[in-house]
């Protein structure tokens, strides 16, 4: 790997624009080298001009960091497609240029301090940069900027970067374990556009060049990939909503004028879905800012306090299955709890974002239209499972590794089906308590809005919580379903008047009970233990797991 070093004079005089090598990997997270783990980011100040006319961006980012381990160098990430015009350390009114290294086949910029920074020391780094950022080929799955047109031909711009990282359009510390405490977002765009972003509005600044600057501020911690904007000649729908906590907040929908009628018809679903989540999981976490929805030119994304919505104002778009509600919006709203309130600090636990988020669609279907629709959705989830790789591997993962191949779908569908199985095993009362306490470990946390209620979590954290609530150790269940790839196999041997059941798993220990219906009677047995062989009168109908409680593979053998 070739690296380029610049002298102090070169940094002042020149910008660097690297040609991107073919082996540049577009992913986020992964291992934490010393250059990343030696500091924490407390605040970003983004000041960026976005010009739809030539698909370019330019501006600066101030990164406010605290040193946690002695170091004379740190790493920030930025796509080599974008030029760095200047790298500086700010100290009051003083600015001094910093030496840094970039390469055309790597996202990381190694930034050198003149002397070793000590633990507890703070620093502010400003990066002036610009260029033509990556365009998303298939948003939201392939990330980057989204340059589209409204039906009337006006610019319709957004961003989606969860899968590859926000470094494709602004410089930052690229790892999910470090969320800034707050972010200022200042976006300059053509003045006939309305520009929405995360957090709450701080107003606008008029200019005399055909552009306007929109100022937004995020008052709580936020994942880098959630920092976003949406711009179009939007019309705005608003409603003041009273949370279950008693706080009032705004629900805002930025919608294209051509679809304002459809927007008004959809808006009540935003409110009813919000009420469901608050009753089930606790108050909406970001009441200090807002809940916003931006009409987007792609399917959707869970950007904190400003989700992107592009489901065409139709129900059932997310899974392509019949639904009596807008499941795309409901899924993205779920992430305000699973992903934005509760965040994984390594992508290996990504199922906590997506598996929990996906399962909330089934729970909402149960509320809206009953248990039959809930069960129908669970059957759909089960049909999409590949079980080729573990859902929650123990080693560190990047976004590319955790979503590659069959595991990508299993993070959603197997994660959701596991929660369905867990619910049936521990019962509704304990299961729903586990959801609420995983979101808010203490009921007092439900009252705060300053960011102290937000936290990082792992698969083991949820296991620990479930164990505490049940008074049992369910590690065997988490091990089989989440840490290993194959589904548990229920071996069934049946004759004319008897049936015998046996579990077959990679771990061996799997005391999962199974319901068996014989005639009109249901009997619960634990395969492999005494009583798991059942005799019955010849000709009686036999059904395994008649209510679809379990996630498993059934293997029938002739005795």
Domain boundaries, the chain: 342-483, 489-557
Residue 461's CB: how many other CB atoms inside 10 A? 17
**How many Cα atoms are found within 13 Å in the side-chain-facing hemisphere of 250?**
15
C-alpha 262/C-alpha 531 separation (Å) is: 58
Report the pLDDT value the prediction gives residue 558, as an integer from 0 to 100.
81
Q: Do 300 and 328 contact (CB within 8 A), yes or no?
A: yes
φ, ψ of residue 407 in degrees (nearest 5) = -60, -35
φ, ψ of residue 183 in degrees (nearest 5) = -145, 135
Report the pLDDT value the prediction gives residue 12, as an integer from 0 to 100.
32
- Using only C-alpha atoms, the chain has a radius of gyration, in whole angstroms, of 26
Report the pLDDT value the prediction gives residue 414, as an integer from 0 to 100.
98
Q: Which residues of the chain have pLDDT under 70?
A: 1-22
Q: Which two tokens stand for residue 412?
A: 């959603």
- 342-483 to CATH, choices 3.40.50.720, 1.10.390.10, 1.10.1060.10, 3.40.50.2300: 1.10.390.10
Report the pLDDT value the prediction gives residue 21, as an integer from 0 to 100.
39
Pairing of strands 489-494, 56-67: unpaired
Q: Tokens 């997310």 map to which residue?
A: 318
- What's the residue count for the chain? 559
Q: Which two tokens stand for residue 283?
A: 């108050």
Report the pLDDT value the prediction gives residue 110, as an integer from 0 to 100.
97
- pLDDT per residue over 137-147, tens digit each? 999 988 899 99
Report the pLDDT value the prediction gives residue 7, as an integer from 0 to 100.
33
CATH number given to 489-557: 2.60.40
Q: Tokens 């005399």 map to which residue?
A: 208
Of the candidates 209, 212, 326, the one whose C-alpha atom is nearest the C-alpha of residue 270 is 326
């Amino acid at each position: 790997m070739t690296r380029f070093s610049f002298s102090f004079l070169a940094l002042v005089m020149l910008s660097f624009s690297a040609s991107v090598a073919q082996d540049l990997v577009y992913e986020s997270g992964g291992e934490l080298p010393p250059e990343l783990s030696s500091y924490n980011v407390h605040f970003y100040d983004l000041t960026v001009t976005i010009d739809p006319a030539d698909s370019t961006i330019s501006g600066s980012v101030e990164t406010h960091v605290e040193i946690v381990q002695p170091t004379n160098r740190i790493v920030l990430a930025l796509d080599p497609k974008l030029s760095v015009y200047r790298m500086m350390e700010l100290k009051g009114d003083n600015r001094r240029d910093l030496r840094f290294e970039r390469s055309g086949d790597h996202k990381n910029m190694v930034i050198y301090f003149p002397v070793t920074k000590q633990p507890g020391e703070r620093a502010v780094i400003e990066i002036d940069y610009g260029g033509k950022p990556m365009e998303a080929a298939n948003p939201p799955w392939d990330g980057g900027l989204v340059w589209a047109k409204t039906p009337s031909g006006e610019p319709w711009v957004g961003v989606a970067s969860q899968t590859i990282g926000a470094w494709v359009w602004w410089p930052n510390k690229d790892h999910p374990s470090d969320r800034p405490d707050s972010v200022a977002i200042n976006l300059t765009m053509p003045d006939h556009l309305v520009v929405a972003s995360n957090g709450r509005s701080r107003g606008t600044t008029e200019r005399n060049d055909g552009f306007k600057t929109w100022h937004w501020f995020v008052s709580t911690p936020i994942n880098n990939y959630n920092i976003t904007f949406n711009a179009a000649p939007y019309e705005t729908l608003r409603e003041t909503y009273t949370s279950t906590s008693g706080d009032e907040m705004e629900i805002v929908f930025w919608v294209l004028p051509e679809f304002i009628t459809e927007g008004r018809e959809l808006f009540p679903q935003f409110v009813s879905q919000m009420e469901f989540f608050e009753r089930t999981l606790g108050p909406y976490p970001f009441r200090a800012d807002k809940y916003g929805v931006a009409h987007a030119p792609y399917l959707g994304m869970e950007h904190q306090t400003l989700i992107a919505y592009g489901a065409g104002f139709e129900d059932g778009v997310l899974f392509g299955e019949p639904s009596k509600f807008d499941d795309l919006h409901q899924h993205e709203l779920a992430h305000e709890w699973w992903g934005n309130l509760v965040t994984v600090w390594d992508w290996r636990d990504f199922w906590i974002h997506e598996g929990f988020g996906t399962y909330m669609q089934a729970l909402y279907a149960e509320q809206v239209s009953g248990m039959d629709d809930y069960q129908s959705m669970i059957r759909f989830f089960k049909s999409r499972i590949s079980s080729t790789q573990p859902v929650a591997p123990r080693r560190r993962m990047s976004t590319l590794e955790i979503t590659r191949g069959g595991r990508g779908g299993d993070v959603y569908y197997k994660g959701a089906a596991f929660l369905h199985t867990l619910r049936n095993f521990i019962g509704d009362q304990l299961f729903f308590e586990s959801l609420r306490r995983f979101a808010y470990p203490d009921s007092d946390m439900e009252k705060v809005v300053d960011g102290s209620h937000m936290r990082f979590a792992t698969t083991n954290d949820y296991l620990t919580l479930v164990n505490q609530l049940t008074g049992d150790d369910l590690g065997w269940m988490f091990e089989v379903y989440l840490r290993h790839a194959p589904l548990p196999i229920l071996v069934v041997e049946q004759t004319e008047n008897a049936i015998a059941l046996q579990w077959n798993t990679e771990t061996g220990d799997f005391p999962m009970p199974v319901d068996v219906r014989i005639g009109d009677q249901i009997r619960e047995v634990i395969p492999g233990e005494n009583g798991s062989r059942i005799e019955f009168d010849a000709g009686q109908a036999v059904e395994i797991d008649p209510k679809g409680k379990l996630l498993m593979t059934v293997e029938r053998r002739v005795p």
